[in-house]
Structure 1
Amino acid sequence: MGARVVLRVLGGRYELVTFVGRGGMGEVWEGRDRLIERRVAVKLLPHDRRDTSGAQLFFREARTAGGLNHTGVVTVFDLGQDPDDGTLYLVMEFLTGRDLDMVLREDGPPQVPTAVDWAAQTAEALQAAHAAGIVHRDLKPANLMLTPDDRIKILDFGIARYMASTHKSSKVIGTLAYMPPERFGDLPADARSDLYSLGCVLHELLTGSTPFRTTEPVAMMAAHLNTAPEPPGHARPGVPTALDDLVMALLAKDPDDRPASAAEVRDRLRGLSTATPPSRAESHLSGADTETVTTPLTGVGIGAARTPVFGPGPAAGTSTPVRRISRRTALRLGIGAVASAGIAAAAFTLFDHNTPADHKTPVDRKTLDPRLRWRYTTGDAVTSSPTVAGGVVYVGSTDGSVYALDAATGERKWAYSTGNKVEGVPTVAGGVVYVGSTDGSVYALDAATGERKWAYPTGSKLEASPTVVGGVVYIGGNSKAFALDAATGNERWAVSCDSGLELPAVDGGVVYIAGYNSVTALVAATGDEKWTRRASDWGFDRDDAWDHTPEDWRFTSPTVADGVVYIGSSKRVYALDAATGKKKWAYATGGTVGSSPTVADKVVYVGSSSKRVYALDAVTGKKKWVFVTGGTVEGAPRVADGVVYIGSFDHNVYALDAVTGNKKWAYATGGRVQSSPAAVDGVVYVGSFDHNGHALKAAVEDSPT
């Protein structure tokens, strides 16, 4: 074992060993306490040494938070200030596990009893903090760590208030999707503000989305102030009425209408069922990558609101007084206001957002692995799968840009910045790149120059990719499927069919599209429905009053081959008759299928959160082989020249023999691989959470150990 590399020492005691991530609240490091010789987590917060009052506030807040002695709150060991540059730091216990933001992204919403248990644990820890006079002010999934023993720990108590005091740029600390209405009106946060945020978190655990679907800042604020959210049970079968009522009470606009305390919330959650909390095997984490080590700190993950599975709107029979956002409030929050057009979101920056790095084209020439041809660094995670066309690699990044890179060298040809994350696969057709963005728009870009030809706003956050067939662009939004003229972007039709829609498949004049609760076949020319297969059609897990969750839901993008629709779900892979939607066969994967199956040579290849890749006979559904990785396999497998290429959350890209499933090679990136690889002309292109797009030589058989 080589010597440990120490990059910095704080207070003569705490060694910074490994950089974990950077967020709005500072930097996150894995460290080592020299005195006690233990592993610790260290958070660094930049600070101007001249601001002595700010440092005093930090020490006061951190000491108060550090005094909390509760199993549901991360333990603070020490705090201090670097005399050289004034950096403030917190030293905390090092935790293994995943924050709930990562859990939701990797596994999807948990079973209803599991969500209730996690929320009850959170409420119990909040009660201990509130009893000590401490308010969190920025409760969200990224601040809730799930440990391997299924315990929830709240992170970052005491930091939000310090950050708010030191950033004088007229912005509010917090995360907009979870922020209570009173925070937009100069009212101080209190314990009831944390309960509203807990309501947003619980809503997301139950449905996969925060209460309001917009990603536009002013619209999000207006929704928090004026719009009554839909109860979670309207989007997900199996949510008890009492749980719906509690979520709606937590999300009350007036703090006085919320539960009186976190203890009341805990008791109501615990009282929902007399059954014991679900065991690890019963939850969606049974196949999760819990060996992944993270630190108990915010800012490591992406942390943005996911696509809601329904649109906001007043509940039936209710009315909410409209509270307008004044120009002064908008400016105080960092939002530009335009008098002639009302308030428009010109710039809104919350401190928990990651700051994109400058675009550059570093080519790694000293790598130990001979497989790496080049590596291109973007400003954030690359979850988008690359598309290769005409010697160019097109790929999106969660930094909001689409990149065109020379396939041979990795040099950038152009980059186009959208208004938000690009997580779907760019589609190239007729010299045009079509891509969706979580800013809600579909973009058509000139493939040679990156110049925009048109943009179509769908009105909902787009995480899926477009499909282009016969001069028409088909794409799924939050609750509608769209058909757009490929040349002009003009809408041909828009059909409401489900929530959380995935990448559509088009075959034989039919559009097949799926979402959280159904699989639908639409006539490509008109959008008329041919058939729909709903989640409840497959029955329920068990017939009791507690859980009427369908046996399968959260369907993937479909793949159509030889008159059969192959599709994944929360538990299985299905083969459906393309003409009728009737089931031909089903195969249980032991975990959630996160992406569309791949069909090649009468074999269906699919990955799962059970950390496995399966090869199934396309006609019978019988297993041919299975390969086990070290983490969730969410991207679709790609098959080329008798080899199956897959990415895994264990950070690796694998090459497997398509016939036997035997491993030919593995390549370790610097982060989890959610992207599907693209294999063209002996080169495998793939994106990683390490912010890079990698180009790998497919023919190199053995990776160095």
Structure 2
Amino acid sequence: MHHARYLFQGGKQRMKRTFSVAVLVILACTILFSGGAAWAWSGRLGWTFKADAPITSSVAVAGGLVLAGDSVGNLYAVQAASGRLAWSYKGTNSVVGRPSIMGDKVIFAQADGTITCLAVKSGKVAWQYVPPEESYAAETVVDGTAVGENKAFFVKGDGKLYAISAANGKVLWTYDSGLELRSAPAFASGLVLLGEQRGVFSAISPKNGKRLWGGGAGGAINTPSVNGGNVFFSSWDGSVQSVRIKGVVPQWKANVGDPVTTAPFIGGGKVFVGTANGKIAALAEKNGSVLWSFDTQGGSVAAQPVFGEGLVFAGGGQGTLFVLDAASGRERFTFATGGGINGSPAFAGGVLYLGSADGNLYAIM
């Protein structure tokens, strides 16, 4: 039987106990927080899956499966309903970034630059790209819908952005930034969007890898995020900015006061980021005004926050998941894991799926 430390915290009332998974699963009540509000998302632990090593990737959900990778190269597909293993694939190096779903395939990256494409249902290998030399690879970003642009995009430590065929894994083109790249690209509105270490963001043509337009910030730029026709960039200089993709029109630029370490997450009319000083900040999506900031009182926030059902879910540097009211930034409760949270969780179907360096994958309902 797996055990997990389960900590709730709300207003002036605090409860701290250790429950077994068996006990938690039979809990049927909805947790009430200060102010008397009942939340549809209760924070009940549904199941725990034990991996062979610390979970290093972000989490993806597709076809009733929860996908996440660990530090020794395993990619796991776990049944979302039960937490039972559907299949696993054994790689050779730490799985990084978030597995990307393209139709009935999943494409994921390993830290040595290997990119692998598997069938989501079975885990059968469709193709694999193996770099000529070992190098860092950020997460893959796949465009599986645009006609003629069925490609996977990823960056490596050689400073290049790669486009490979999502059908067979062959390299189609590369874009050389001239410096080491440490954040993944994004794809939206027919563009590959890339943040660079030198504080430059670029829009790249997916057809040929040509740089079409770009801008700058005062520090290294994290993975861009896209919503409502705008692209959002965050930077280590503390800035967050929004640019309308059509016409390349700057919308706003704000500063949260600390180096931003995560990609922005947009939800509920707000932009959420994590910082190097352990803070979660929320900005207005429309104008960039800083709405609130919450101090986790831990280390750097490495994982992108996520939003769902009026709540913000963010992993702290010391292995605690913080659940905040998205409107006010008020702490609703926390969930303590036994290790750091280095990958972003996923919220799907009213369930939060979370990986931890303690080697566990959690489903919290």
* Pairwise TM-score range, normalised by the shorter structure: 0.7 to 0.9
**Alignment partner, residue 167 of structure 1:** none
* Equivalent residues of 1:571, 1:592 under 8 A apart: yes
TM-score calculated relative to the size of structure 2: 0.81
Alignment counterpart, residue 162 of structure 2, candidates 482, 488, 504: 482
Q: Within 5 Å, which residues of 2 pair with 1:63-82?
A: none
Task: Return the structure number with greater strand share.
Answer: 2
Q: 1:410 maps to what in 2?
A: 83
Which structure is higher in helix share?
1
Q: What 5-or-longer segments of structure 1 have no aligned partner?
A: 1-362, 539-551, 698-705
Q: Distance in 1 between matches of 2:140 and 2:84?
A: 26
Whether 2:365 is the aligned partner of 1:683: answer: no
Name the aligned partner's letter for residue 153 of structure 2.
Y
Give the 3 Å change call, closer, same or farther, for CA 530–460 of structure 1 in structure 2: farther
1:503-542 maps to which residues of 2 (within 5 A)?
Answer: 503-517=184-198, 518-534=200-216, 538=217
The separation in 2 between residues aligned to 1:558 and 1:573, in whole angstroms, is: 13
Q: 1:508–1:463: structure 2 CA closer, same or farther, 3 Å change rule?
A: same
Tell whether 2:320 aligns with 1:641: no
2-side partners of 1:368 and 1:428: how far apart?
A: 29
Please, which of 467, 471, 476 is the counterpart of residue 141 of structure 2? 467
What is the root-mean-square deviation of aligned Cα atoms in Å?
A: 2.2
Hey, what does 1:623 align to over in structure 2? 290
Residue pair 1:678, 1:686 contacting (<8 A) in 2 also: yes
Contact persistence 2:220–2:237 (CA under 8 A): no
Gap change, CA 1:373 and 1:487, over 3 Å in 2: same
**In the alignment, is residue 692 of structure 1 matched against residue 349 of structure 2?**
no
Contact 1:576 1:583 in 2 (8 A): yes
> Which has the higher relative contact order, 1 or 2, with Cα contacts under 8 A spaced 6 or more apart?
2
Q: What aligned pairs does 1:429-578 form with structure 2 within 5 A after superposition?
A: 429-458=102-131, 459-469=133-143, 470=145, 471-478=150-157, 479-497=159-177, 498-517=179-198, 518-534=200-216, 538=217, 552-577=218-243, 578=245
Q: Which amino acid aligns with 2:338?
A: G
Seen in structure 2, the aligned counterparts of structure 1 residues 635 and 380 have a Cα distance that, compared at 3 Å, is same
Instruction: Quote the offset at 1:594 in angstroms.
Output: 1.9
CA shift digits 1:405-449 (9 cap, x unpaired): 111221111111112110211111211110000121110011111
The residue matched to 1:423 in structure 2 has which SS?
strand
How far the C-alpha of 1:512 sits from its partner, in A, is 0.4
Q: Distance in 2 between matches of 1:456 and 1:368?
A: 41
2:296 aligned with 1:614: no
- For residues 314-333 of structure 1, what are the structure 2 equivalents within 5 Å? none
Deviation at 1:530, TM superposition (A): 0.8
Q: Supply the distance in 1 between the matched residues of 2:283 and 2:98 (Cα, whole angstroms).
A: 25
Q: Which secondary structure does the structure 1 equivalent of 2:95 belong to? A: coil
Q: Per-residue deviation at 1:460?
A: 4.9
Does 1:365 pair with 2:22? yes
Matched, 1:387 2:68: no
Q: What does 1:280-319 correspond to in 2, within 5 Å?
A: none
Q: Is the 8 A contact 1:589 1:610 kept in 2?
A: no
Q: Does 1:599 align with 2:273?
A: no
Q: Secondary structure of 1:365's partner?
A: helix
Deviation of the 1:667 alpha carbon: 0.7
1:452, 1:439 → 2: CA distance? 18
What amino acid sits opposite 1:611 in the alignment?
Answer: G
CA displacement at 1:689 relative to structure 2: 1.3
Q: For 1:628-667, what per-residue CA distance to the aligned partner results, in whole angstroms no more than 9, with x for missing partners? A: 2122222111111222111111321122222222222211
Superposition map of 1:231-246 within 5 A: none
How many Å separate the matches in 2 of 1:499 and 1:417? 28
Residue 383 (structure 1) shift: 2.5
Distance 1:486 1:696 in 2: 33
| Structure 2 letter corresponding to 1:365 | A
Residue correspondence of structure 1 range 39-188 to structure 2 within 5 A: none
How far is the alpha carbon of 1:580 from its aligned partner?
Answer: 6.8
Please say if 1:589 is aligned against 2:262: no
Q: Return closer, same or farther for 1:462/1:428 CA change in 2, 3 Å cut-off.
A: farther
Q: Which amino acid aligns with 1:676?
A: S
Cα deviation per residue 1:275-316 (whole Å; 9 max; x = unaligned)?
xxxxxxxxxxxxxxxxxxxxxxxxxxxxxxxxxxxxxxxxxx
Equivalent residues of 2:57, 2:97 under 8 A apart: yes
Larger radius of gyration: 1
Aligned AA (1:687)? G
- 2:25–2:46 CA contact under 8 A, matched in 1: no
Kindly provide the amino acid, as one letter, of the partner of residue 508 in structure 1.
Answer: S
2:196 alignment partner AA:
G
Structure 1 residue 606: deviation in Å? Answer: 0.8
Aligned partner letter, 2:326: A
| Residue 581 of structure 1: how far off its partner (Å) | 6.1
Shift of 1:569: 1.4
Offset at 1:368? 10
Could you report, residue by residue, the CA deviation over 1:182-202 in whole angstroms, capped at 9, with x for unpaired residues?
Answer: xxxxxxxxxxxxxxxxxxxxx
Q: How many residues align?
A: 319
On the 8 A contact 1:378/1:399 being kept in 2, the answer is no
1:445–1:403 distance in 2 versus 1, CA, 3 Å: same
Distance in structure 1 (CA, Å) of the matches to 2:135 and 2:119? 23
Residue 569 of structure 1 aligns with an amino acid whose one-letter code is: S
Q: Which amino acid aligns with 1:530?
A: L
- With the length of structure 1 as denominator, give the TM-score of the two structures: 0.43
Secondary structure in 1 aligned to 2:22? coil
Residues 193, 202 of structure 2: 8 Å contact kept:
yes
Aligned equivalents of 1:408, 1:619: Cα separation in 2: 37
